[in-house]
């Protein structure tokens, strides 16, 4: 019985293997119609544009970064952003502290240690630029 099931699964897997490429050809990504192995066309780094006060468009929007950030590396061993924005450094560095929400632990209380779910800052924060949207966006805050 097990053998029958196994061969049935193998047949299914093989037939999927043959139908997959036609499906993949229909998919269009932001990378364009490039072969998987060919390098993507990397766009120029957009110019930094700092506006005096960049309003947040909705409650709890991560604020944009008003300074250059491409050299501030984040790795397993170090996080340059924390050198200025961490609770224990921000006063000395005269930088705003990362939001209190970033220090809420598993117990739901604010502590002194960054919640590791917030470690990769640029997952949510990006530098202000003069760049065009990659896809059309009609969102308005009012
Ligand atoms: C050398 C210190 C320094 C480093 C490193 C640094 N920042 Fe900043 N950051 C500042 C200062 C100072 C400000 C206040 C605005 C200003 O003067 O540019 C600021 C402002 C910000 C703000 C805006 C806060 C608000 O309330 O609008 C965000 C978001 C931010 N930084 C995120 C980051 C991230 C993410 C990194 C790492 C990729 C980083 N910063 C690295 C000093 C730093
Ligand atoms: C999961 C998304 C997320 C990650 C990751 C994240 N942030 Fe934020 N950040 C936010 C949001 C949302 C806000 C605005 C509301 C708040 O404070 O929670 C914010 C606010 C801030 C502010 C402004 C605080 C204020 O008082 O207005 C700073 C500075 C900041 N973050 C820095 C950082 C740094 C540095 C890191 C990395 C160590 C980081 N953030 C990681 C979402 C994130």
Query: What is the 3 state secondary structure string of 105-124?
Result: CCCCCECCCCCHHHCCHHHC
| pLDDT at residue 62, as a whole number | 93
Distance CA 73, CA 78 (A): 8
**Residue of 84, 99, 128 with the most ligand 1 atoms within 8 Å of its CB, for mutation:** 84
Share of the chain above pLDDT 70, in %: 78
**Residue of 61, 69, 83, 102 with the most ligand 2 atoms within 8 Å of its CB, for mutation:** 102
Is 81 close to ligand 1, i.e. is its CB under 6 Å away?
yes
Rounded to the nearest angstrom, the distance between the alpha carbon of 42 and the centre of ligand 1 is 26
Rounded to the nearest angstrom, the distance between the alpha carbon of 41 and the centre of ligand 2 is 31
Q: What angle do CA 8, 12, 13 make, to 5 degrees?
A: 115
- For the cut 70, the answer to whether the pLDDT of residue 53 exceeds it is no
| pLDDT at residue 50, as a whole number | 76
**What is the mean predicted confidence (pLDDT) over 48-68?**
81
Q: Which residue has the tokens 């097990």?
A: 2
Taking CA atoms only, the protein residue closest to ligand 2 atom 15 is 60
Those residues whose C-beta lies under 8 Å from the C-beta of residue 57, and which sit 6 or more positions away, are 139, 141
């Amino acid at each position: 019985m097990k053998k029958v099931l196994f061969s049935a699964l193998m047949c299914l897997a093989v037939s999927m293997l043959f139908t997959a490429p036609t499906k993949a050809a229909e998919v269009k990504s932001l990378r364009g119609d490039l072969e998987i192995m060919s390098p993507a066309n990397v766009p120029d780094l957009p110019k930094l544009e700092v506006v005096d006060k960049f309003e947040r468009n909705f409650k709890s929007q991560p604020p944009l970064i008003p300074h250059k950030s491409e050299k501030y590396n984040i790795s397993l061993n170090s996080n340059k952003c924390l050198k200025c924005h961490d609770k224990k450094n921000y006063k000395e560095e005269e930088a705003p502290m990362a939001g209190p929400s970033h220090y809420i632990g598993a117990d739901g209380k604010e502590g002194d240690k960054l919640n590791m779910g917030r470690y990769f800052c640029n997952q949510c924060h990006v530098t202000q630029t003069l760049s065009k949207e990659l896809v059309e966006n009609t969102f308005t805050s009012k």
